[in-house]
Amino acid sequence: MMSRRMDPRAMRRLMNRMGVKIEEFGDCTEVIFRMASGKELVIQDPQVTRMKTGGQDVFQVVGALTERTTESREKGTGIPPEDVQLVAEQVGVSLDEARAALVESKGDLAQAILNLKLQKK
């Protein structure tokens, strides 16, 4: 049997006749799959397509995959726990004060330390 390539437009028409609706999401910047194990699968600048068929949505995501762990960041702040510990030790403040200073300085270690030292005076 000889395989023949189908024109994309003809393929869309055939899928429409079969009741399959295809929609492309062109404005996606990131897709994140959060696993129960604490791992995240991240796809930057993905091509995302949704196919609606038989009352279900099927998503196809194409792009470069990277992995990261969610445990490496403080929940809700995006600040690594190591940074919080470092600031607390350098200035001699509690972890909560160090975390608040890092959030205020948008994660800038030097600025957080400087702000806390100025507050202590």
Region of 52 on the Ramachandran plot (φ > 0 left; ψ -120 to 50 alpha; else beta): beta
Name the DSSP class of 60.
E
Q: What are phi and psi of 117, to 5 degrees?
A: -65, -40
**What are the φ/ψ torsions at residue 51 (nearest 5 degrees)?**
-115, 125
Q: Which pLDDT score is estimated for 77?
A: 64
CATH number of 19-71: 2.20.70.30
- Compute the distance between CA of residue 112 and CA of residue 121 in angstroms, rounded to an integer: 15
pLDDT of 7-47, one tens digit each?
888 888 888 898 888 889 889 999 999 887 778 899 999 99
pTM greater than 0.85 (yes/no): no
**Domain spanning 73-120: which CATH class is it, in words?**
mainly alpha
CATH 2.20.70.30 location in the chain: 19-71
Q: Where in the chain is the domain with CATH 1.10.8?
A: 73-120
